[in-house]
Structure 1
Amino acid sequence: MHTPVTIIGAGLGGLTLARVLHVHGIPATVYEAESSPTARTQGGLLDIHDYNGQLALKAAGLMDEFHAIVLEGRQAVRVLDRDGTVLLDKADDGTGGRPEVPRGELRRILLGSLPAGTVRWGHKAGGTRALGEGRHEVTFTDGTTVETSLLVGADGAWSRVRPLLSTATPEYAGTSSVETYLFDADTRHPAAAKAVGGGMLIAPAPGRDIFAHRESGGTLHTYVALSRSQDWFAAIDFTDAAAATARIAREFDGWAPELTALITEGDTAPVLRPFYALPAGHRWDRVPGVTLLGDAAHLAAPNGEGANLAMLDGAELGAALAASPGDVEAALAEYEPAMFARSAEVVAFEGAEAHGTDFENDTPRALIKMITEQGR
């Protein structure tokens, strides 16, 4: 089977690329390992920024649909010390440039904007190979193959397309997140709900942080970030939810009970999510007929930018292809250097911010802006 533009991965970046191509009348096929759009939950809230993610949605012609799923008030931020002292309490006054939306709803909008059949579900890429003259073949785990004159790896951290371009592989970033949910929090978990407030809570400390989002329907989504080795986490039996919860909670002994309640009162079993990253400034020499976007290209530890960058990558790649009809290499030569620079700038900014403080409260700025993302 031959298709002109083949996208591996139906995440936000790959779908944005497919949508922008569709807007410009360019057909594409997206191959996704998941069996259906509802095969798994898509994670929590995403803040979509006016300087990258929203630009992508504008290019996709989906701003009205985006505004319809924004959760009002969720740009509020509270920063608490470990004893519960409020260090920052910033309300959402409607003027912020980072409205929060549910990741699953955003993906639904992108999927709904594509022609029927654009996404081929249940196609997990097993390997790729070059065929020469800018053409490539993808072999799926069911034994089927596809040949393409443009292959785009939008398949995340463990991309099967990346080896065509780079020998780099993700390495453990030194931190993992443990997640849980508290349901009907205002009624069943009032102290924790009050601590979180209307938007996002950050309770920072060296090597251990508690983050929480207020999602829809009174749900609180907790992310506990711990800078520990993989061996340390491997010693915890996460199949025993009670024991795992107790072990994680011990890392926060002495913290205010309204904060530790976000761990100990979880209504779901704790889920471990290690963070991985590609080398900072990851890039490759131009290889005809293939490129990457999003985490496949520039995976970093969660910094609030990953989904936004992936969407902007997809939009800019789509726009470059539309601007150079019949000349894929010209489009890729325009897209890749800009993408490299954009992702490297974010990493450099994060490194500088980690050593700075917010002028209002002496809390590390990187922590205040960090919103832990799902699907890493």
Structure 2
Amino acid sequence: MPSKPSILIAGGGPAGLLAANMLWRHGLDVTVLEADASPSSRDQGGTLDLHPHEGQLALRKAGLLARFLALARHEDQEQRVVDAVTGVVLREEIPEPGTGTRPEIDRIVLRKMLLDPLPPEKVVWGARVIDVVEAANGRWSVRLQGGVARECDLVIGADGAGSAVRAALTDVRPVYTGVCFVELWMTDVDRKHPANSQFVGRGTLFALHYEKGIFAQRNGNAVVRVYAAFKTSNDTAERPERALAGMSRNDLLARYEGWSPALRSLIADADRIAAVRPIVSLPAGTKWPSKSGLTLVGDAAHVMPPMGSGVNLAMLDAAELAEAIVSAPDWRAAVRAQEQVMLDRATPIAEACLRGFGKWFDA
């Protein structure tokens, strides 16, 4: 048995790529399998604020913190809470220039930053993992869409909420929270929509009222992403993205009758509806029987509502797992031990996120 494993990482998001950087830098045989056809073939989602003791700590462990701080948008750390009916600012946090500990970075920029140090052959694009099964000699076989299979000693599932790797460990699946986010984009916002730009400010705006919310998030390149969030009826509970797929802008605005004109304009002035995103979560405290050579990180292990913790935990999971693998004499035992640390850390955070998210959308 080799002293260090050959590794396949399912998923080329922040967690998967960060782990790959650390493992490759220490000379391990590691490959990332990513379903996307290319680094830019699919929108990666909105901006991220990386926390000092989680996401930024993970980047420090990977030797990438200085690069992140050079790329991050330090000027976009404002937070603003407004009244849903009047549009009046109820609370705001505007850090002084040069202060603030959670700078923002667009997901596509973070992905490029994590890809740049890796040799191109370390990431296989268009490689969607279908399932993982036991192979001979304690190894695992990872089957890809199209029938290709690859073997390795260790599989790290960093493949998100719909993880195919998770299915080899547990039958537990994420459940729909009953809340759906409809994402809209507003581009060239400073020039085309200066009033909206000023209203959102340099950061994130929140408004909540009676089972609904509107969130607006400044991204790089003068883009604002708007999320119209609401509870759905029972008839959409199974596949809300299908039930709501044909929603028009007017249908969406009708859900916000009586809301502040300034908030409604964030929907009315958007370029288009970009996506319908049902919010799912694993039950807090989800665990599984450990299997040697198979583990999960990030949303694959503990997906929770989007309240700022997900990517930060995922990156810290990945960094600590990579550290354990490269430093321990028995990598299998190290993986088991780190898996327990990850789940123990995630459980109270998931519980808090589920409680807080539920309160956001109370009647």
Asked whether the two chains share a fold, i.e. TM above 0.5, the reply is: yes
Q: Which residue of 2 aligns with 1:47?
A: 49
Q: What is the SS of the residue equivalent to 2:58?
A: helix
Alpha-carbon RMSD across the aligned residues, in angstroms, is: 2.1
Q: How does 1:324-363 map to 2 (within 5 A)?
A: 324-325=328-329, 327-351=330-354, 353=356
Q: Which residue of 2 aligns with 1:276?
A: 280
Q: Which residue of 2 aligns with 1:64?
A: 66
Q: What is the SS of the residue equivalent to 2:273?
A: coil
Q: Structure 1 stretch 109-118 or stretch 133-142: which is displaced more?
A: 133-142
Q: Which residue of 2 aligns with 1:20?
A: 22
Identity in percent: 38
How far did residue 352 of structure 1 move?
5.6
Q: Which residue of 2 aligns with 1:307?
A: 311
Contact 1:182 1:219 in 2 (8 A): yes
Change (3 A) 1:354 1:168: closer
State the alpha-carbon separation in 1 of the partners of residues 233 and 76 from structure 2: 33
State the alpha-carbon separation in 1 of the partners of residues 243 and 291 from structure 2: 43
Q: How does 1:250-329 map to 2 (within 5 A)?
A: 250-325=254-329, 327-329=330-332
State the alpha-carbon separation in 1 of the partners of residues 120 and 259 from structure 2: 52
Deviations 1:30-79 (A, max 9, x none): 11111111111211200101010001100110012101211132110111
Q: How does 1:160-179 map to 2 (within 5 A)?
A: 160-179=164-183
The count of residues paired between Structure 1 and Structure 2 equals 353
State the alpha-carbon separation in 2 of the partners of residues 215 and 312 from structure 1: 23
State the alpha-carbon separation in 1 of the partners of residues 65 and 331 from structure 2: 28
State the alpha-carbon separation in 2 of the partners of residues 237 and 172 from structure 1: 14
Deviations 1:188-220 (A, max 9, x none): 223322211121111122311111012223221
Structure 2 counterpart of 1:139, one-letter code? R
Q: What is the SS of the residue equivalent to 1:5?
A: strand
Deviations 1:68-106 (A, max 9, x none): 211132110111001111101221224322111111100
How far did residue 235 of structure 1 move?
8.1
Q: How does 1:107-118 map to 2 (within 5 A)?
A: 107-118=111-122
State the alpha-carbon separation in 1 of the partners of residues 142 and 242 from structure 2: 38
TM-score scaled to structure 1, two decimals?
0.88
State the alpha-carbon separation in 2 of the partners of residues 230 and 40 from structure 1: 31
Q: Structure 1 stretch 70-79 or stretch 186-195: which is displaced more?
A: 186-195
State the alpha-carbon separation in 2 of the partners of residues 119 and 229 from structure 1: 41
How far did residue 229 of structure 1 move?
3.5
Q: Which residue of 1 aligns with 2:222?
A: 218
Q: Which residue of 1 aligns with 2:147?
A: 143
**Alignment gaps of 5+ in structure 2:** none
Contact 1:281 1:344 in 2 (8 A): yes
Q: How does 1:92-131 map to 2 (within 5 A)?
A: 92-93=95-96, 94-131=98-135
State the alpha-carbon separation in 1 of the partners of residues 284 and 149 from structure 2: 33
Structure 2 counterpart of 1:142, one-letter code? G
How far did residue 299 of structure 1 move?
1.0
